[in-house]
Amino acid sequence: MAYLFTSESVSEGHPDKVADQISDALIDNFLAFDKDSKVACETLVTTGQVVLAGEVKSTTYLDVQKIARETINKIGYTKGEYMFDGNSCGVLSAIHEQSDDINRGVDRANKEEQGAGDQGMMFGYATRETENYMPLALDLSHRILKELAKLRRENKDITYLRPDSKSQVTIEYSDDNIPQRIDAIVISTQHDDFDEDEAMLAKIRKDIVEILIPRVVAKLSEQTQALFNDSITYHINPTGKFVIGGPHGDTGLTGRKIIVDTYGGKGAHGGGAFSGKDPSKVDRSAAYATRHIAKNLVAAGVADEVLVQVSYAIGVVEPMGVFVDTYGTCPFNMTDGEIAKKVSELFDMRPFAVEERLKLRSPMYSETAAYGHMGRKNETVTKTFTQPNGEAITLDVELFTWEKLDYVEKVKTAFRL
CA distance linking residue 411 with residue 391, whole number of Å:
44
Asked whether residue 166 is marked as a ligand-binding residue, the answer is yes
CA distance linking residue 243 with residue 240, whole number of Å:
10
- DSSP, collapsed to helix, strand or coil, labels residue 112 as helix
Strands (E) across 301-388 are located at: 305-312, 321-325, 379-386
CA distance linking residue 192 with residue 19, whole number of Å:
23
Q: Count the helices and strands in the chain (H runs, E runs).
A: 13, 13
Asked whether residue 129 is marked as a ligand-binding residue, the answer is no
CA distance linking residue 235 with residue 221, whole number of Å:
24
Asked whether residue 16 is marked as a ligand-binding residue, the answer is yes
Asked whether residue 277 is marked as a ligand-binding residue, the answer is yes
Whether the CB-CB separation of 381 and 395 falls below 8 Å is answered with no
- CA distance to 30, 121, 147, per residue, from 380 (Å): 19, 30, 22
Asked whether residue 273 is marked as a ligand-binding residue, the answer is yes
Angle at 77 between CA 7 and CA 138, to 5 degrees: 10
CA distance linking residue 188 with residue 192, whole number of Å:
13
Asked whether residue 172 is marked as a ligand-binding residue, the answer is no
Asked whether residue 119 is marked as a ligand-binding residue, the answer is no
Angle at 289 between CA 44 and CA 221, to 5 degrees: 90
Whether the CB-CB separation of 355 and 279 falls below 8 Å is answered with yes
Asked whether residue 348 is marked as a ligand-binding residue, the answer is no
Asked whether residue 404 is marked as a ligand-binding residue, the answer is no
Asked whether residue 164 is marked as a ligand-binding residue, the answer is yes
Hey, how many other C-beta atoms are within 10 angstroms of the C-beta on 377?
9
Asked whether residue 281 is marked as a ligand-binding residue, the answer is yes
> 298: Cβ–Cβ under 8 A, 6 or more apart, which residues?
126, 127, 128, 133, 304, 305, 306
What letter does residue 242 receive in the DSSP assignment? -
CA distance linking residue 113 with residue 127, whole number of Å:
33
Asked whether residue 406 is marked as a ligand-binding residue, the answer is no
Give the count of alpha carbons within 13 A of 387, CB side only: 12
Asked whether residue 250 is marked as a ligand-binding residue, the answer is yes
Binding residues for ATP: 14, 164-166, 241-242, 250, 256-257, 273, 277
Binding residues: 14, 16, 42, 55, 98, 164-166, 241-242, 250, 256-257, 273, 277, 281
Binding residues for L-methionine: 55, 98, 250, 281
Binding residues for K(+): 42
Binding residues for Mg(2+): 16
